């Protein structure tokens, strides 16, 4: 299966998760957006060598995935697919930062490995938070939230149209690519000329479809403005949700929980 086809499948899965009726689906999308952004900024605010202190933050994506009935398999798969890039950039740290930082039972770990682990952990945390956001909310409520928060309508309308026609156009592209590969015989990799032609036809189809959609919009009275019913009401539970998670993030930022637990256990052991 081509990369595009499997990406589309993943997207479809993500989207169908978002449309289910879970506890999280009832939270105002603005609340979920705010906590996700706060989460990501909190993760980023730790310095490069903090690994342990980051760990309690994993509660956020894990708890939300549980409340939203999002299969962990899906999250892990998405993280796995996106990880090569994080590894690629982070791998320089162990190579360059050789000073010993940790001494564990006779094994010495350099600072570079610590910061590399930190990079991977930060990636896992932020990426899973974003995925959980979409899987528990859906594009349309998210765009409604963005508009309410002041993001230009031109942009949120664009996001909705892009999302809507992604499946259609990318589906066409995927089928064209598959059809080509079935006739490619020995030449399984696409040559530049074939690529140009395939993409050229896809581009034409995009223009044509845009023209037809425009006609369909005009036929139903489109006057340039997309009116959208937005029925979200901010409730007390949304304030609790945001404040609760915000407090948790702040607490984790200040208190190093693993070190405290470790010290506690060490004290108890003596």
User: Which residues within the stretch 31-70 sit at the binding site for other proteins (CB under 8 A)?
Assistant: 36-37, 40-41, 43-45, 47-53, 55-56, 58-59, 62-63, 65-67, 69
> Is residue 232 involved in binding other proteins (CB under 8 A)?
no
- Indicate whether 190 belongs to the interface with other proteins (CB under 8 A): yes
Among 149, 179, 184, 210, binds other proteins (CB under 8 A): 210
DSSP for 22-73?
Answer: -TGGGS-HHHHHHHHHHHHHHHHHS-TT--GGGGGGGHHHHHHHHHTT--HH
Q: How far is the CB of 220 from other proteins (least distance, A)?
A: 4
261 is a contact residue toward other proteins (CB under 8 A): yes
The residue among 103 and 236 lying less far from other proteins, judged by its C-beta, is: 103
Closest CA to 27 of 138, 171, 127: 138
Nearer to other proteins by C-beta: 196 or 247?
A: 196
Output the 3-class SS for 170-228: HHHHHHHHHHHHHCCCCCCCCCHHHHHHHHHHHHHHHHHHHHHHHHHHHHCCCCCCCCC
Please give the size of the binding site for other proteins, defined by CB under 8 A. Answer: 146
Q: How far apart are CA 80 and CA 76, in angstroms?
A: 6
Element spanning 259, H or E: helix 257-269
Q: Which of 173, 238, 242, 249 binds other proteins (CB under 8 A)?
A: 173
Rounded to a whole number of angstroms, the minimum distance from the CB of residue 30 to other proteins is: 15
Residue 155 CA: distances (Å) to CA of 162, 211, 215: 10, 20, 22
Task: Give whichever of 236 and 267 is closer to other proteins, judged by the CB atom.
Answer: 267
86 binds other proteins (CB under 8 A): yes
The nearest distance, CB 97 to other proteins, in angstroms, is 4
Query: Cα–Cα distance between 209 and 168 in angstroms, integer?
Result: 10
Shorter beta-carbon distance to other proteins: residue 174 or 238: 174
Closer to other proteins by Cβ: residue 3 or 235: 3
Own/partner long-range contacts of 202-211 (Cβ < 8 Å, ≥24 apart):
202/169, 202/172, 202/173, 202/176, 205/169, 205/172, 206/169, 209/165, 209/168, 209/169
Q: Which of 15, 74, 148, 246 binds other proteins (CB under 8 A)?
A: 15
**Using the rule CB under 8 A, which residue among 32, 112, 145, 238 binds other proteins?**
112
Whichever of 26 and 153 has its CB closer to other proteins, that residue is: 153
Give the separation between CA 264 and CA 270, rounded to whole angstroms: 10
Spatial distance between the Cα atoms of 228 and 196, rounded to a whole number of angstroms: 38
Q: Does 240 bind other proteins (CB under 8 A)?
A: no
Instruction: Identify the residue among 1, 76, 168, 184 touching other proteins (CB under 8 A).
Output: 168
Per-residue binder mask for other proteins (CB under 8 A), 130-149, x = binder: xx-xx----xx-xx------
Of 29, 74, 108, 177, the one binding other proteins (CB under 8 A) is 177
Q: Of 48 and 148, which has the nearer Cβ to other proteins?
A: 48
């Amino acid at each position: 299966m081509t990369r595009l086809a499997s990406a589309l499948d993943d997207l479809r899965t993500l989207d169908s998760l978002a449309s289910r009726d879970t506890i999280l689906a009832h939270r105002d999308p603005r609340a979920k957006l705010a906590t996700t952004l706060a989460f990501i900024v909190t993760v980023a605010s730790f310095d490069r060598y903090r690994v342990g202190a980051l760990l309690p933050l994993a509660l956020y994506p894990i708890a939300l995935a549980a409340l939203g009935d999002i299969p962990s398999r899906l999250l892990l798969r998405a993280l796995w697919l996106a990880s090569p890039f994080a590894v690629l950039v982070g791998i320089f740290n162990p190579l360059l930062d050789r000073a010993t930082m940790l001494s564990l039972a006779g094994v010495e770990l350099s600072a570079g490995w610590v910061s590399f682990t930190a990079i991977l952990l930060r990636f896992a945390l932020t990426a899973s938070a974003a995925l959980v956001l979409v899987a528990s909310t859906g594009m349309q409520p998210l765009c409604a939230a963005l508009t309410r928060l002041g993001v230009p309508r031109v942009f949120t309308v664009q996001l909705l149209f892009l999302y809507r026609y992604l499946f259609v156009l990318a589906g066409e592209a995927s089928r064209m690519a598959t059809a080509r590969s079935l006739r490619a015989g020995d030449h399984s990799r696409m040559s530049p000329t074939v690529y140009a032609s395939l993409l050229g036809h896809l581009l034409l189809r995009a223009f044509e479809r845009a023209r037809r959609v425009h006609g369909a919009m005009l036929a139903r009275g489109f006057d340039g403005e997309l009116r959208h019913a937005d029925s979200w009401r901010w409730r007390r539970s949304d304030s609790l949700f945001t404040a609760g998670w915000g407090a948790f993030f702040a607490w984790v930022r200040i208190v190093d929980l693993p070190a405290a637990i470790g010290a506690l256990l060490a004290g108890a052991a003596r």
